[in-house]
Chains A and B, each alone.
Chain A
């Protein structure tokens, strides 16, 4: 199975500032179609995960442009600009290149 390693695991942020989360894969996530099959999800307390980013950098419908994804191959980053109180929760990266799809351990974002 592909292993995804996130860092940091906990991230206190000040509203209005930016935050970055790293996700490293044990294998390249580049598909033969050229896309990186790496998603980012946010799970707010008591809710199902919600999709933020797919193909490493494509924002899902309705996701604010404060959220951006970058990276390729085995190194990926989620950046949140101008963090808001509603952004708190646990952020997960997930690979969909090969089954079983696997998730990172999660990064808990808290507002200071």
Chain B
């Protein structure tokens, strides 16, 4: 069955950079966008942006433009989210979630989440 598996928890110092991975399996990798959604403690989810694995095109929320980079490696069906210049308010659980390129049907498969602590 389709699944997304993320890399493990991270602890970073302010000003450092972060790279989280999301490995896809059980479906055709290039047919689904991968979105990144984060959730700060006690807050609602926040959409950060998405990558099209078919070509690598990206779309970022303006809030994260210039600080976030999403890439993919099709050979290992993995997407990466890099964030630079980390601040304490970047402390959150980061999720990847897929959505269809061809026919929208919501973000139907989510990774387990990666807890990032900036301190």
Contact = CB atoms under 8 A, between A and B. Distances in A.
A35 B105 CA distance: 11
A96 B99 CA distance: 10
Contacts of A92: 44-45
B106 A48 contact: no
A103 B97 CA distance: 15
Contact of A37 (B63, B95, B104, B108): B104
What range describes how many residues of B lie at the interface? Answer: 20 to 34
Contact of A102 (B47, B62, B104, B105): B47
Contact of B104 (A41, A43, A55, A61): A55
A51 B35 CA distance: 14
Interface stretch (B7-15, B24-32, B75-83, B110-118): B110-118
B16 interface: no
A20 interface: no
Contacts of A104: 44
Given A39-B106, A54-B104, A99-B61, A48 B44 contact: no
A84 to B, nearest CB: 22
Contacts, number: 61
B89 interface: no
A7 B112 CA distance: 28
Given A99-B59, A100-B62, A100-B63, A51 B108 contact: yes
Given A101-B47, A102-B47, A103-B45, A48 B110 contact: yes
Interface in A15-65: 35, 37, 39, 41, 43, 48-51, 53-55, 58, 60-61
A50 B37 CA distance: 13
A25 B37 CA distance: 20
